[in-house]
């Protein structure tokens, strides 16, 4: 199941990128963007949710500029191919990074700062212990699973239509829809982007091909930018 989930998540990112090449014509077998029902405008707890300089599509650069401090974010992942719901968690503090992803055979990973690099720690019972036979890695390598993943996979795509506002995990988000068809497939993607940081708080994709259809959803359940603490380690 872990391998299936990992492959599924990878496929989502690939399809997201391929959609940039699709003909965006709202084909008849792809539902059009909603004309209402999701305009739940709310101030949430995102602080500067009405920032005039919010620009969708700047991807990693926008997030790096607006999410400079500590954070912890958790998503629930569900889809039509399974009744199971999986949890994905990323966290960052001045000490290091925490990554918990169901597809990782090694289990959750903790990267603790060591000079200008990071040591890997793996969980042993209730505490994380250093894997001292591995060399420390660069911060860019640690960031890749987070800022290079679905949090920003929308960053360079075009053709989105704004579809109102939505509150996800108490934060004020802008909702965008992208529908397209190509290579025999029809795809509709929905992104809900946190106005304060640019982080993707919800991603939903419906796809249809040769009479088969399916869907997958990532939805944030908790997003903290203060009071974040990494797991115990030694």
pLDDT digits (tens, 9 = 90+) for 137-196: 999 888 876 655 656 655 555 667 888 899 999 999 988 888 877 777 888 888 898 888
The domains found in the chain, sorted by start residue, are: 2-224 (2.50.20)
Q: How many CB atoms are closer than 10 A to CB 5?
A: 20
- Strands (DSSP E) along the chain, which ranges? 71-79, 82-92, 96-100, 109-114, 117-124, 127-130, 161-168, 171-182, 185-194, 200-209, 212-224
Q: What is the mean pLDDT of residues 219-230?
A: 94
* Alpha-carbon span 96 to 141, nearest angstrom: 12
User: Could you give the C-alpha distances from 156 to 12, 16, 56, 118, in angstroms and in order?
Assistant: 15, 10, 10, 29
């Amino acid at each position: 199941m872990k391998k299936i989930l990992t492959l599924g998540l990878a496929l989502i990112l690939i399809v997201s990128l391929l959609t940039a090449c699709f003909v965006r014509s709202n084909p008849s077998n792809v539902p059009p963007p909603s004309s209402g029902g999701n305009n739940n405008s709310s101030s949430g707890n995102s602080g500067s949710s009405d920032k005039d300089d919010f620009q969708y599509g700047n991807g990693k650069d926008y997030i790096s500029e607006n999410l400079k401090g500590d954070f912890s974010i958790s998503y629930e992942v569900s889809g039509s191919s399974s009744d199971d719901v999986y949890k994905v968690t990323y966290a960052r503090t001045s000490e290091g990074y925490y990554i918990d992803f169901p597809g990782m055979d090694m289990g959750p990973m903790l990267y603790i700062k060591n000079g200008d690099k990071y040591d890997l720690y793996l969980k042993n019972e209730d505490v994380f212990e250093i894997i001292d036979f591995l060399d420390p890695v660069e911060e860019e390598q640690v960031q890749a699973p987070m800022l290079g993943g679905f949090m920003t996979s929308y960053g360079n795509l075009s053709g989105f239509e704004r579809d109102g506002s939505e509150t996800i995990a108490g934060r004020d988000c802008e909702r965008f829809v992208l529908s397209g068809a190509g290579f025999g497939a029809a795809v509709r993607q929905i992104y809900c982007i946190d106005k304060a940081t640019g982080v993707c708080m919800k991603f939903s994709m419906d796809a249809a091909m040769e009479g088969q259809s399916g869907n997958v959803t990532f939805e944030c359940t908790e997003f903290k930018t203060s009071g974040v603490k990494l797991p115990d380690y030694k």
